[in-house]
Structure 1
C-alpha cells in the first residue's frame, strides 16, 4: 500500500511557515540552562549539618519514638502509684492551694495576736514571741500529726520539706528569734517582737499573702 505524500505546494508552505517562525525574535527557542539558586550564607551551615545527619535520621527518629514511649510508661507508673505529675505552672498553683490550706483560722489567729499584743504591751516580749511559736507548732501538729515528735527541735521543724514554703519561712523567722533569746541570751525586745508578729501575720492572714 502506497502512503500518500504531501503535495509540493503544501511542503513549500510548511517550510516557509517554519522559516518565518524561526525568524520571529519574539519567540525564544534557545532556553538558558537552569541555574540552581545559591542559598543565603546564614542557611548554609544548617544545610550542611542536615546533609551530614542524613544517614542518621532513621536513628534519630526511632530514638525519639523510644523516648516518647518511655515518658508515657513513666507517667503510667506514677499514675499507678498514685503520684500526681503536674506541669510546672500547675505545680505552682497546687502549691499555692496547699499553702492556703495551711493558714490557721483567721478568728483564732486574731485572738492569739491580741493575747500576744497584751503581753508585749506589758514589755513581756519573750513571752509574747513564745506564745506565737507554740501556736505555730500547734498549727503544724494539726496538719501533720505524724510528723511532730518530742525529739524535734524548732530548727528541725523549720527545715522540714513537708511543710509548704510560706508557713515554713514564717515559722523559721519566729523560731530564730526565740532561739536567739534562749541560747544567745539576747532579749527579744520591741524590734524582735514586731518581726515575729509580722512573720505570724504572713502565715495567718489572707491580706498578708497577696
Structure 2
C-alpha cells in the first residue's frame, strides 16, 4: 500500500481549497421545502385527508349501488317495464299522442257539423257533439277502459290517456258539465274554447 507523501498531501489540500473557493460549484444543497398549497385548495385537501381512511368504504358502496341499479333495470326489462331516459320518455309520449289524434279528415267533418250547429246558435249541441266524438275516439283506442259508470270527469282524469288528449277532453268536458249541472249556457265563448281544445288535439298545425 502506498503512503501519501507530504508533498502529495499539500497538493491535495491546495486543490481542495481551490475547489471550496470556486463559486461555480455548489457544495451545500438547500433542504427541500414542501410547497404550500394555495388558500382555495386547502379546504379540499383537509376534507380529503379526513375522508381518506373511509375511501375504501365509499368505493365498495358505489360498486354495490351500481350493481343494484343494474339488477333493477334488468328486472324491469324482464317484466316488460322498460326504463327510458327522460328525453326518450318524452319521445315515446309524443309518439303515443300522435297515435291518439283522430284522422284529420274525419275531425274536419266533425268540426264542420259542429260549426253548422254553432252558426244556428245551438252552442250546447255543438259542444256535446265534440264531447261524444271524443268519447268515441277514446273507446276506439281503449275499448276495455270505458264503462257505463264512468263520468266525463273520470275519463278526463285517466292516466291511461296521453297528456294532450287528456287536456283537450278535460276542457271540453268542463264546458259540458257547466252547461248541464250549473245551468250555464255554453254561448259563443264556451264554444270557441271547446272547439280550440278539439283542434289542439286533432290537427298537427295546431301543435306547432
For the aligned pair, the TM-score class normalised by the smaller chain equals over 0.9
Q: 1:32 aligns with which of 30, 33, 38?
A: 30
Deviations 1:149-197 (A, max 9, x none): 1100000011111111111001100000000000000000001000000
Matched, 1:159 2:172: no
Q: Which runs of 5+ in 1 are unaligned?
A: none
Aligned residue pair count: 208
* Greater Cα offset, 123-132 or 52-61: 52-61
TM-score by structure 2 length? 0.94
Deviations 1:75-108 (A, max 9, x none): 1101111111101111111111111111110010
Going from structure 1 to structure 2, the CA distance change for 1:93 and 1:8 (only over 3 Å counts) comes to farther
Going from structure 1 to structure 2, the CA distance change for 1:108 and 1:7 (only over 3 Å counts) comes to farther
Distance in 2 of aligned mates of 1:89 and 1:13 = 87
Deviations 1:105-127 (A, max 9, x none): 00100000000000000100000
Alignment correspondent of 2:51: 53
Alignment correspondent of 1:70: 68
Q: 2:119 aligns with which of 108, 118, 121?
A: 121
Alignment correspondent of 1:88: 86
Deviations 1:10-45 (A, max 9, x none): 655444333222111122222222221221222212
Alignment correspondent of 1:189: 187
Distance in 2 of aligned mates of 1:115 and 1:182 = 21
Matched, 1:135 2:137: no
Distance in 1 of aligned mates of 2:15 and 2:145 = 105
Aligned-residue CA RMSD (Å): 1.5
Q: Secondary structure at the match of 1:31?
A: coil
Alignment correspondent of 2:171: 173
Q: Secondary structure at the match of 2:32?
A: coil
Distance in 1 of aligned mates of 2:115 and 2:4 = 124
